[in-house]
Structures are given as C-alpha cells and as structure tokens.
Amino acid sequence: MPQTTPNSSENSVPIPLPSQDSMLQRERVRSAWLFLLPMLIVLAGVAGWPLLKTIWFGFTDARLDNLSGANFIGFQNYLEWVDYGEGDGEYFGLLADSEWWYAFRNTIYFSVVSVTMETILGTIVALVLNSSFKGRGFIRAAVLVPWAIPTIVSAKMWAWMMNDQFGILNDIGMTIGLLSEPIAWTASPDTAMLAVLIVDVWKTTPFMALLILAGLQMVPADIYEVAKLDGVNPIKVFFRVTLPLIKQALAVAVIFRALDALRVFDLIYVLTPGNSQTRTMSVIAQENLFQFDKFAYGSAASTLLFLVIAGITILYIKLAKLDFEGGK
Amino acid sequence: MRKLSRTLAAAAALMTLASPVLAAKLSIVMGSVGRDTEVLRQNLDIFEQRTGHEVAITTMPASTTDQFGQYRLWLAAGNQDVDVYSADVIWAPQLANHLVDLSKAAADVAKDHFPSIIESQTVNGRLVAIPWFTDAPALYYRKDLLDKYGASVPTTWNELSTTAKMVQDKERAAGNNDFHGFVFQGNAYEGLTCDALEWVKSHGGGQIVEPDGSISINNPNAARALEAAASWVGTIAPKGVLAYQEEEARGVWQTGNAAFMRNWPYAYGLGNGDDSAVKGKFGVAPLPSGGSGSAATLGGWNLAVSKYSQNQDAAIALVKFLTSAEIQKVNALETTKLPTIISLYEDSDIARVAPIIPQWKEVFLNAVPRPSAPTKRSYNEVSKEFWTAVHNTLSGNGSARSNLAKLEGRLKRLRGSDWK
C-alpha cells in the first residue's frame, strides 16, 4: 500500500494556495458560527419550532384536546366564505371578525400612546439622571424599582389603588377636591384604557430611561462645554446636540418597547380582565387558545399577531433608517 | 451472619406486604374564595390522619374563568402534578376526556346526592366528578335598615330598585357617603353570565340558548331585563360594580356599605363572622322577580380525579372523603356551603347554625342551569359573547336591543349548522 499523505498529494497537484488573509477570514467566520451554534440550536428549539408549530396549527382544525389529530384546512381560520345558497352567504374567520379588528385598533392605540409617553418621560428622567448631583447612584437604582416589580404584582397593586371603594387614588382625588365622586377606573369604559396606560407608563418608563441614559453617556462631555462657553441655551443644546447624538439609542429603545407593547397581555389580564375596551390581539389569541375550544383559531390569531409585529418593526426600521448591519 | 441478613431481608419483605397502601403525596387545586382554603385544610388534616396520605392545596384565582383556562392547559399537557380538580358545574362536558370515570367508585354513594347534579356531571355514561357542594344565589338584605325605614323585602326588581334608592338616599343624608343600594357581580366574566341569566329569565326572556339548542336571547323581555339592570349602575349600584366579582361585592356589603347584595350562600357564614360589620343584621330571600317569577342560576362545585394522576386510588379516596356526608356537614356549618346530599337538609345542627340551608333547598331545586349542556364544547365562548353584550349594555356602550341583536348574530355564527 503506497504511503500517500494528503500533504504530498496536495503538493503534487499544482493549485494556487489561498492567500494568508482570506484563510484567516474564513477561519474567523467558521469559529464565529461555531460559537453561535449552541445559541442557534437553543433558539431553534424554544423559539423557531414553537413558532412553526403555531403557524401550522393556524392552518388546521386542531383542538387542545386533540392536537395530534389536526387536519389541514387551508385558510379557513383566516377567511372563509360560507355559502348559504341562493347568492346568500357570509364571511367567517379572523379577517372577517369585527372583534379581531377592534382588538387590532386597541393594540395599536395602546402601543402608540404608551410608547410615546414612555419615550418622552424616559428621556426627561434620563437627562436628570445624567446630570451629576449628590446621591445620584442611589436615585439611579431607586428609579428602577417599578421595572423590577413583576407585572402581575404591579397590576394587582394598581388595581387596588384604583379600586372605586377602597382605592387610594380616589381617596386622594376626593380629599384635595380634584374629583367630585369616586371614579371606577378599571370598570368604566371611558377610563379602562386610561388605567392600563397609566400602569404601563409607570412600569416601563424606568426601562426607557435606562436605555436612553446609556445613550447619553456616550455623548462626549466636551461638546457641552463648548456649547456652554458659546452661551447656547440648554433647550437648543438638547435639540441640536443631544438629540441627534442619542438618536440611535433612542430608536433602539423605542423598538424594544414597541415590540413589548404590541403583544401586551399580562397587565390587561390582571387589571381589566374581560373588558372589551382593553381587549388586545394577545388577549384574543389567549382566549381562543385556552378558554374556548378553538385552538386552531387562536393559533391563527397568534400568527397574525406575529405578522403584524414583524411588519410594524420592519416598517419602523426602514422609516427610522436604523442601521443594524454595523456598517458606516 | 449470613442467616441474620436473610432474616432481616425476610422481615423487610413482610413489612412491605403488611402495609397495604403506601402513603401517597396528593395535590388538589381549587379557587380561593372566603375561608374556603382554610376549611379545606382542616378537612384534609383529618384525611391525612386517617389514611397517612399527604395532601397539598394549590390555590387558584377566585375567577372561575381564570381557573378554567389554566386547568384546560394542564390537562391537555397531561400534567401529573395535580391529582384532584375542583370543577365548576358547567365544566363537565368540556373536560370529561381528561377525567377518571368515577361511576364505579361512587356506586355506593351516588344515590345519596341530588340526581340532577349527578346527571350534570355524567358525560356519555361516565361520572366525571362527584358533587362537593351546590350553589344558588340569594338576595341579601339589611334587616336593620329595612326596619329602620319601614320598608319590606322586595319581591320584584322594581321594588328592589325603589327600596334601594330610598335607603341609599336616607343613609347618605345621614352622613354615610359611601353607602350603596345594591351590589352584584358586574365584571365581564362567568359571574356576569350568572347574574344576567337571572335578570333575563325572571323577566320571561328565556335562558340564552334553550335546551333544544335554539338561540332565544334576542327578545323584548331580555332587552327589558338588561335595560333595568343598566339603570341601576351609577344610581343604586356604584359605577365600579362593572369590575366587581363575588369578593368585591362582598367587600362592600360586609363593611356595611350596601342595602342589598346578590351573592352565593357562602357569603352568609362570612357575613355572620365576628369581623363582619353586618353580623346579625341581615337576612336572605329569593332573588326578585321581573314579572315571570324569581330565577336563580344553578352553580356548584364538584371534585374530579385527573386521568394523569399517578395515585388514582388515593385520589379517588380523597374525593370520596371530601364529598362524604361527614365533610359536607362540616362545610355547611363552617362556610354555609349547600350540601349535595339530600338527607343533610333535614339535619338539625345545620338548621340551627345555617338556617339558610334548609330554606334554600327549594330555591336550588328550581334553579335555572346555564346553557352548558346544549352548547356543548362552545359553552365558554357562548358565555363570553353573552357577558360581553351585557357588560356593554351596563356600561352604556350601545342599547340593550342593539347589543342583543348583535349577540344573536354572533351566536348564530358560532353555532353554524349545529352546536358541537
């Protein structure tokens, strides 16, 4: 048996050797993938697979009791024309469900208002925390408390504070003469959404403040010193200097919050359960998946929710001209 | 030496054989209302002493809607951590596939319970849960205030409305600004379906979906009933009633801030507790009539054994123990739970401590069931559509007539060619 090593055979065939540079590059890419692999496998298992399953169930007649016996039924969960004969008929499915569209509107309204409020308040809080004062470290930590409380707990806590009979909000409002009679915050259709917004803003403003603060700390201090020397007024400094420099951080923070806000569920489930004024897309999905005998319909709602969120996010990235490739 | 070890091994083998049932660790889930978990714990202590098994309670939110969602998820996933479920009377058809058939185990006791309840828990010939206690709501009224202002116990909703208004006005004039005429369950959940079914039925508006499966809810009597109820919100009932479940209503009532309350019998025992502001000051009566007699929605809870339990025999023993006459009597005395065992309504101890119970036998025997049987697996969605229409009407979001017309349309869509 002839002793031929790979090396010797390689030597015998005259192919050009790859350059040192691209070999290193390739090596790097390979090890990068190697390092990413565990995470990708885990992600595929806990995010990718369930997502694909959910999308699949949306095209079937699956029931929670009988998931394995699900049959493919096409787009019927989304839209289906049921013919009653003689030209009479009706559309069924999510896209023809007025409640779905009502929930869609609620979700968008909630997201736009809450994220806007949180961004504005978060920026103000971040600006305050960025200036140096005594006890700043303590305040920075203290501000995070609402964010650290689990949503279920803060929702229940606020539900009690907003209680029409025993709640402290009504008590304070009545004592200082702001309210003429107690308001049923979570019950009345006029205030249910407002109540949810108040709690959400209270809870997530610290998160926004933290992300924006991180952006603020990247702004070099000497720019401010120059502005100060030139006697530019602080408001102009904010809009002309600070804002453009933290734009990127702000945009990322907004995306994080928007993703969260669009799939809001836990807060509403605890604070205003069953109230149609605050029914969001996630609530519809949960109801159909677990309360009603319509697992497939709920899966379709989840899929649609996923598409809506993906669509809005892509649109936002395009509009805000965010650069996630790390180029420039 | 060798002989000794052999003897020891034999002794060990004998000991294993000698204890017929190994002690099992069981788990029971239930919603937490009032003192229920406390009393259940006392019951379980007796069980543990007698059998050597250990039982842990997992408490759930009070809302039956929330409980159902969680249980359905657990059962569909074949959860082995829960052995015994407390199940609402309306759940049997929806959960039957996951529950153990108890007909053999309960063969000796089934005849002691009211046949209608046993029947409601029998699905395709399988008894999926044994009755634990039954429920039919009452109108709680403040005896002291009615006497003070010379009013009698209302027998119609109109009378209730006028009396409640009168008492409320006079109490507020006397300085009690937090006083309300009437509290009930107005939150958008299963409890509102119960309350509203009573209003509709007592006005002659049918029972949403009739036993034959036909959708009857869109009729003038039902609209009249909902309009009457909507007129209470913000006048005799606080606006916040639209977020009240049983416990919130009891909170207002038991602090002495309401003249009337619609609630289940459990509130009777609690209202007479030492920490209650209304202790000894109230009475109970059947719910008022809307022109077609009084109507009470049938409630009640049953105990079921999960098919996925690893200790089914011990779990069945636990269910039989908790539903026995002995424990039902304790519960009747401690928490005024209506027994499901017929003979307990003749019990003299119960009649003395909880007079509401013998008084309630007729009410619950004539109680109106929610349409869980005819609507089958769609019941939860039917109920949600109904309570949404009612909640919208109560909160002034559309008239009763238009909301009921919409409801009828949605229910027809849901039914399709037939309920399944």
What residue segments make up the domains of chain A, in order of their start?
A: 97-319
B137 and B194 Cβ atoms separated by less than 8 Å: yes
Question: Which pLDDT band, with edges at 50, 70 and 90, does A13 fall under?
Answer: low
Interatomic CA distance for residues A62 and A59, integer angstroms: 9
**Closest to A258 (Cα-Cα) out of A310, A199, A301:** A310
B241, B244, B388 ranked by CB distance to A276: nearest: B388
Interface probe for B, chosen from A98, A291, A295 (most Cβ of B below 10 Å), is A291
**Two tokens, residue B302:** 């049953």
The better pLDDT of the pair B19, A297 is held by A297
- A187 → closest Cβ in B66, B72, B239: B239
Among the partner-chain residues B239, B384, B397, the one whose CB lies closest to the CB of A184 is B239
A165-182: average pLDDT: 87
DSSP B323-366: TSHHHHHHHHHHH-PBPSBGGGGG-HHHHHH-THHHHHHHHHHT
CA distance B218 to A204: 44
Closest CA to A167 of A154, A184, A153, A151: A184
Token code pair at residue B317: 């023993």
Q: What is the pLDDT of residues A90-104, one digit of tens each?
A: 788 899 888 899 999
At residue B203, the pLDDT reads 96
DSSP 8-class letter at B242: G
Question: Is the pLDDT assigned to residue A77 strictly greater than 50?
Answer: yes
Fold of A97-319: MetI-like fold (1.10.3720)
* Banded pLDDT at A232 (limits 50, 70, 90): confident
Number of CB atoms found within 10 A of residue B54's CB: 14
CATH topology of domain B2-135+298-365: D-Maltodextrin-Binding Protein; domain 2 (3.40.190)
Measure the CA–CA gap between B96 and B85, rounded to whole angstroms: 12
A285 close to A301: Cβ distance less than 8 angstroms: yes
What is this structure's pTM?
0.82
Task: Please judge whether B240 and A187 are an interchain contact, meaning their C-beta atoms are less than 8 angstroms apart.
Answer: yes
pLDDT at A15 over 70: no
- Residue A178 and residue A158: Cα distance in Å, rounded? 19
Q: Which residue from A89, A57, A92, A100 is spatially nearest to A76, judged by alpha carbons?
A: A92
Q: Is A291 on the interface with B (CB under 8 A)?
A: yes
Which pLDDT score, from 0 to 100, does residue B177 have? 87
The distance from CA A32 to its chain's CA centroid, rounded to whole angstroms, is: 28
**Which residues does residue B140 pair with via DSSP β-bridges, in sequence order?**
B261, B284
- Under DSSP, the state recorded for A288 is I
CA-wise closest residue to B307 among B86, B84, B59, B25 = B84
Contact criterion met (CB below 8 Å) for B209 and B374 = yes
B17 has pLDDT over 50: no
| CB pair distance less than 8 Å for A275 and B98 | no
Q: How far from B109 is each of A296, B40, B89, CA to CA, in Å?
A: 41, 21, 19
User: Chain A residue closest to B241 (CA)?
Assistant: A187
Give residue A81's pLDDT.
Answer: 83
Q: Are the beta carbons of B240 and A92 separated by less than 8 Å?
A: no
At residue B9, the pLDDT reads: 58
| CB nearest A165 (choices: B240, B395, B396) | B240
Categorize the per-residue pLDDT at A40 as very low, low, confident or very high, splitting at 50, 70 and 90. very high
* pLDDT given at position A241: 87
Q: What is the mean pLDDT of residues B353-361?
A: 88
Nearest CB to A64: which of B72, B378, B384?
B72
User: Is the pLDDT confidence value at B134 over 90?
Assistant: yes
Beta bridge partners of A81: A91
Q: Is B7's pLDDT higher than 80? A: no
Which tens digits make up the pLDDT trace of B305-321? 999 999 999 999 999 99
* A residues 143..172 contacting B (CB < 8 A): 163-166
Residue A87 has pLDDT above 80, yes or no: no
CA-CA distance, B240 to B396, in Å (whole number)?
13
Render pLDDT for B394-409 as a digit per residue (tens, 0 to 9): 999 899 999 999 999 9
Q: Considering only CA atoms, which of B94, B152, B132, B189 is closest in space to residue B340?
A: B132
Whether residue B37 is predicted with pLDDT greater than 60 in this model: the reply is yes
Section A30-47 average pLDDT: 94
> Which residues make up the CATH 3.40.190.10 domain(s) of chain B?
2-135+298-365, 138-297+372-415
Chosen from A276, A278, A288, A294 to mutate, greatest number of chain B CBs within 10 A: A276
Q: What pLDDT score does B69 carry?
A: 87
More confident of the two residues B288 and A80: B288
Amino acid, res. A34: L
Q: Computed from CA positions of residues A315, A319, A322, A323, in that sequence, does the dihedral angle turn out positive or negative?
A: positive
Q: What is the pLDDT of residue A22?
A: 80
pLDDT at A9 over 70: no
Q: ipTM of this model?
A: 0.77
Cα–Cα distances (Å) from A190 to A98, A227, B183, B191, in that order, read 20, 47, 21, 22
The minimum CA-CA distance between A274 and chain B, rounded to whole Å, is 5
The rounded distance, in Å, linking the Cα atoms of B201 and B71 is 30
- Compute, in degrees rounded to 10, the torsion defined by CA atoms B343, B347, B351, B356: -20
Neighbours of A51 (CB within 10 A): 14
Angle at A227 between CA A226 and CA A231, to 5 degrees: 115
Tell me, yes or no, if A248 comes closer than 8 A to chain B by beta carbon.
Answer: no
Task: List the single residue in A with minimal CA-CA distance to B417.
Answer: A84
The pairing of strands B122-123 and B126-127 is: antiparallel
Interface of A with B in 171-200 (CB under 8 A): 182-184, 186-189
Confidence of residue A114 (pLDDT cuts 50, 70, 90): very high
Residue of B350, B263, B327, B302 lying closest to B40 (CA atoms): B327
Determine the topology of domain B138-297+372-415 in CATH: D-Maltodextrin-Binding Protein; domain 2 (3.40.190)
Between CA A321 and CA A234 the distance in angstroms is 27
What's the start-to-end Cα distance of chain A, in Å?
58
Query: Could you tell me how far CA B279 lies from the centroid of its own chain?
Result: 23
Q: Are B243 and A272 inside 8 Å of each other by CB?
A: yes
Cross-strand partners of B85: B29, B304
**A-chain residue closest to B76, CA distance:** A65
Q: CA angle at residue B143 from B138 to B145, to 5 degrees?
A: 120
Between B21 and A63, the higher pLDDT residue = A63
- Nearest of A145, A122, A59 to residue A257 by alpha carbon: A122
Is B8 buried (19+), middle (13-18) or exposed (0-12) by CB count in 10 A? exposed
Cβ atoms within 10 Å of A96's Cβ, excluding its own: 15
- Cβ–Cβ of A189/B178 closer than 8 Å? no
Average pLDDT over residues A183-200: 90
